[in-house]
Amino acid sequence: MIASLRFILATLVASFAFSGLALAEKIVVQVSDGNPATWNQALNVVGNLREVYGADTQIELVAFGQGIHMLKFDAPVSSRIVEAQKNHGAKIYACEISMGRNKLVRNDMAPDVVFVRAGVEHIIARQREGWVNIRP
């Protein structure tokens, strides 16, 4: 019963994050793959989402695991990371656990990236808040 109340509470919390069906989507795009073709595809998806859903939609991209290399300042997609941030209004997150495993420090990464402890933790939190998780 207490668990039920907690769930209902969680749903209400989510409702404040997810501001309506047709009004503004909230989408978190996951990249955990080391293949640059997947990186480009994820960045295509970010652009498509902005075009399809319009300016109000919140779009985030979270890189972890082998996907973390996508966010290195000298990655083959580095100019597209800036484009996703500036032109498509996406917030980009880097997983610090994955950075550590790959001996990457903050200075190795693309500008304006947001650092989070664990990429999966951020993705799970967003799902609990009512965001949709897409892994292109």
Where do contacts with a copy of itself occur on this chain (CB under 8 A)? Answer: 3-4, 6-16, 18-21, 23, 25, 27, 32, 34, 37, 41, 44-45, 48-49, 52-53, 64-66, 97, 101, 117-118, 120-121, 123-124, 127-128, 130, 132, 134-136
Rg value, the chain, Cα: 16
Q: Which is nearer to a copy of itself, 54 or 111 (CB)?
A: 54
Contact 18, 132 (CB under 8 A): no
To the nearest whole angstrom, how small is the minimum distance from the Cβ of residue 14 to a copy of itself?
Answer: 7
Q: Which is nearer to a copy of itself, 66 or 78 (CB)?
A: 66
Q: Which is nearer to a copy of itself, 13 or 114 (CB)?
A: 13
DSSP 48-95: HHHHHH-TT-EEEEEE-GGGGGGGBTTSTTHHHHHHHHHTS-EEEEEE
